[in-house]
Amino acid sequence: MLLTLVFAYLLATIAIGLYAARRVKNTADFAIAGRGLPLVMIVTTTFATWFGSETVLGIPAKFVEGGLNGVIEDPFGAGTCLILVGLFFAGKLYRMTLLTISDYYRERYGRTVEVLCSLIIMLSYLGWVSAQVTALGLVFHVLSGGVISIPVGMVIGVVSILAYTLFGGMWSVALTDFLQMIILVVGLAVIAVFAANMAGGADKVVSLALSRDLFKFWPEPTFKDMIFFFAAAITMMLGSIPQQDVFQRVMSASSESAATKGPVIGGVCYILFAFVPMFLVASALIIMPEKAAMLLKEDPQKVLPTLVLEKMPFVMQVLFFGALLSAIKSTASATLLAPSVTFVENIWRQFRPRMGDQRELRTMRITVLVFSGFVLTYAISMSGTPIYEMVSGAYQVTLVGAFIPLVFGLYWKRATTQGALLSIVLGLGVWAVGLVSPLGQDFPAQLAGILAAFCGMVAGSLGPQWVRNTHGSHHKVIGVESRGSSPYN
């Protein structure tokens, strides 16, 4: 019965998404909803982008293992990312009326940087979307009592998301996000109240968390612990800023005010509401102590679904799995769309410069389909990898490769194309060395990468200018001009 209701819910979201698809007439409608979303939908769609499988399954698992210190990356880093986007990036980018974040790199630095950053951004989405697909497979596997295998569950989930994302693009994503976030918030809130009563009161749950030191936030005051804590914090906090899915939400707003306020409100709501799944898992330690202890050793991600399935009435099960599917589908649909739009607009278009709008729209839809196939293959091959790890690892590449060129391009007039290229090369190179060598065990690879990217930007931008000034040459050094007088600063 529960599985039947879940499939009915999937069909309902598909119908809503296809209804929204009627608004799609051109690429702007498909990619950024024709810049027509009001503030309330910007809030729900930014909130929905982050509130995915890792928030409901991954974060609680990390929380009961390592306390708040273990979830600094998400939700704290992820939520702060949205706040920073609203405060420092949304206004500037919205006024530029671009289709993708990579369009900014082209306008500021030229084609080479555009293509490099596009590839970096697209690569990061593999892990992010795969985490959602993995969670969908897990949900269908649990609900069917093991009859539906996890890979088959992944396929069902991807098909259900594709059914509306393929046709409706950002319009379908935004409308389904809006409705799914209502279901998510109401569902999890009701379940939290029910779980608190089962545990003997919310105060008992909080007391247990205190006794286990789960509210410990700061690391041990040693150099190594502090730098790894800081590196984890900035991975999603800064690495998620140069992302197409975040940018799409900013550019989909109907006004600059909505574009700047929406991410800030969405980010604050995300951090606060992410505590609900953490509370639910802590309550599971009281309600079913032996089973929870066993699952913590086997797979902590199953604690919450098991609590709902074994200890709660049918209505609560419907609410929970409706909320969980809402979280997963809202995130997955957005993150399938983002890299596909980036590929067509910033890479494929260079080979088809005279491509008409309708042909570009068709190409975007084909790309969504192809990228979904890659994601499904990657997710199945990565089976067994914790959802939280898949998500956090996805944003290291954009942190070290794309963040510094974006922020320096917006806020430093002397940033040049050479600086951006050197920043990308050094950032990715140093990060890769840290990942594959023992050095990464003593100093976090992503922190080393972003420091190298910073040095590359400064040295690459100022170095040629310093050489030119030192030698008193009045000859223009090819490609050194900073474009500092452009309207993008």
User: What pLDDT tens digit does each residue of the chain (489 aa) get?
Assistant: 788 888 888 888 888 888 888 888 888 888 888 889 999 999 998 988 788 777 888 888 889 888 999 899 989 999 999 999 999 999 999 999 888 999 999 999 999 999 999 999 998 888 778 888 888 888 888 888 888 898 999 999 889 888 888 888 888 888 888 888 888 888 889 999 999 999 999 999 999 999 999 999 999 899 999 999 999 999 999 999 999 988 988 899 999 999 999 999 999 999 999 999 999 999 999 999 999 888 888 878 788 888 888 888 988 888 888 888 877 887 788 788 889 999 999 999 888 887 888 899 899 999 999 999 988 888 888 776 666 666 666 789 999 999 999 999 999 999 999 999 999 999 999 999 999 999 889 999 999 999 999 999 999 999 887 877 776 654 444 444 444 434 443
Which residue type does 421 have?
Answer: L
Instruction: Report how far residue 409's alpha carbon sits from residue 104's, in angstroms, rounded to the nearest whole number.
Output: 9
CA angle in degrees (0–180, nearest 5) for 143-149-150: 85
Q: Taking Cα atoms as reference points, which of 387, 457, 401 lies closest to residue 123?
A: 401
Can you give the pTM of this predicted structure?
A: 0.87
Give the tokens for residue 147.
Answer: 């009859």
Give me the residue label for tokens 């897990």.
138
* pLDDT value of position 424: 98
Query: With 0-12 CB in 10 A as exposed, 13-18 as middle and 19+ as buried, what is 66?
Result: middle
Q: What residues have CB less than 8 Å from 201, skipping those under 6 apart?
A: none
| pLDDT given at position 390 | 65
* Residue pLDDT, tens place only, 439-473: 889 999 999 999 999 999 999 999 887 877 776 65
CB 364 within 8 A of CB 166: no
Take residue 230 and report the two structure tokens written for it. 């800081």
Q: Give me the count of residues in the chain.
A: 489
**Among candidate residues 402, 341, 401, the one with its CA nearest the CA of residue 371:** 341
Q: Which amino acid is at 325?
A: L
Residues 48 and 177 sit within 8 Å (Cβ to Cβ): yes
* pLDDT score of 486: 43
